[in-house]
Amino acid sequence: PASRVSDSPYGRAVVRDQLRYYCILQPVPGEPLRALLRRRPQLWIYHVGWIVQSLGSAIAQLHAKGLLHAALSPDSLLVALDDAGGVPQVTLTDLGYATSAADLPGLWHDGAFAPPAYRAPEMLATPVRPSLAGDIYGMGMVLYELLIGTPPYDYRGRGDRAVVAAVAQGAILPMARTEDVGPVAQIAEQAVRRSPAERQADAPTLVRQLIRDGGITRPRIVEPPAWQNPRVLVGSAIVLLTGAFVILAAMSFAEIIDLLVVR
């Protein structure tokens, strides 16, 4: 019931032998991006751009508070597509590690969140080297997968060691979709470069590139191709919050919701 959610919006659970705190939201429309891509591997380019712009807006707010996500992947998002061709509603379903770059090494638990196929190369090193650039890489991986319709580093049926080696070597799947979305493909390729210094400086920079170079402005209501008729599923987003509970206490519930739900 709504009253119970508002009265007691937090809880805790043990996930993979780690104590996790979570926040319960009201039901929101959408389906996991992973499921959406399995159903429709080639999304309309405007939907691709709008999804990543919304993700970038949320990550920028997280970074503005001095916090890193450090575990972005398609599993981090719920997406509700608009039949009329409008901007999708995107919900960030977790805040990842939600901690500072300085504190992250002490909280890092290998394999706790994003699988190795989605981690920045510097986050596969020992010791890990967290920075804002790691989240830019995560955004780039989401964008790259939205464009090619499959994980950039195919981890299915492969062990973690083989995947880590592929990421370390930069053996990413080729960008097969370039003719119709060339500038957007270049933005994705920059964001997933192995060197953090070669990626976009921050989330707003990547979003601006999508608007300026990719031509994906918003809001803009344009009819999608006839074959794109999305089905909207309604689910409850259970938002995993990681790290010490004091991180939650430092942010009001309203601030957390502002970070998670981007329209």
pLDDT at 254: 52
Tally of CB atoms within 10 A around 141: 25
Residue at 85: amino acid letter:
G
Sequence-ordered alpha helix ranges (H) in the chain:
2-7, 33-39, 45-64, 104-107, 132-148, 160-169, 182-191, 203-212, 245-249, 253-260
Can you give the pLDDT of all 263 residues of the chain as single tens digits? 445 656 667 788 887 677 777 777 778 889 999 999 999 998 999 999 999 999 999 999 999 999 999 999 999 999 998 766 677 899 998 888 889 999 988 887 665 667 899 999 999 888 889 999 999 999 999 999 999 999 999 888 788 899 999 999 999 999 988 887 889 999 999 999 999 999 999 999 999 999 999 999 865 444 545 544 443 333 333 333 334 333 444 455 455 555 555 55
Q: How far apart are CA 70 and CA 130, in angstroms?
A: 8
**Which pLDDT value is given to residue 23?**
74
- Which string of DSSP letters, residue by residue, matches 154-173? --TT--HHHHHHHHHHT-PP
Strands 18-24 and 238-241: antiparallel
pLDDT at 234: 35
Domains of the chain: 2-262 (1.10.510.10)
Assess contact for 224 and 211: CB atoms under 8 A.
Answer: no
